[in-house]
Amino acid sequence: MIKLKSRRNKMPAIMLSPMIDMMFLLLIFFIVSTMQMTELKTIPVKLPVATEAVIQNTAKFTVTIKDDGAYWLADKVISKQELINKAREEQKKDEKFHIVIRADENVQYKAVIGLLDSFKKAGVSRVGLATEKDNKK
């Protein structure tokens, strides 16, 4: 007589350690990528410091005035008249349209006020000024 080995039906084991490792890697990936998406990517300027600055990353129309007097829209140099025209067009499309002005701390006050006045004449009334948050409080 031939003796057959009995087979036991083994339940497959679930390896939790590799699955937990993968979940942590995915979590870290999504945290880092989300932080990169919310960071405001613009032209580097030295902004004035304010202790009561509020962080807002929702601006779609960010204007930068460099210390040499050049106007930048996002990451492209633009003339003041083109900037005003684009702002006027965007204001017509969206009534909640707003602008954030990032002026270098060495830019003359007259240039910032002139730009604010031009936006007001174009019908844009929701304008914010960007500053660095002072953490020494």
For the record, the structure tokens of 137 come out as: 């409080």
Q: Give how far Cα 103 sits from Cα of 39, 61, 73, 110, Å.
A: 18, 14, 12, 12
pTM of the model: 0.61
Tell me the CATH architecture of domain 49-133: 2-Layer Sandwich (3.30)
The answer to whether 61 touches 41, Cβ cutoff 8 Å, is no
Contact in structure between 86 and 60 (CB atoms under 8 Å): no
Strands 61-65 and 71-73: antiparallel
Note down pLDDT in tens along the chain; length 137 residues: 566 666 677 777 788 888 899 999 999 999 888 776 655 556 677 777 776 666 666 667 888 899 888 999 888 899 999 999 999 998 888 888 888 888 888 888 899 999 999 999 988 888 888 878 776 65
Contact at 8 Å (CB) between 49 and 131? Answer: yes
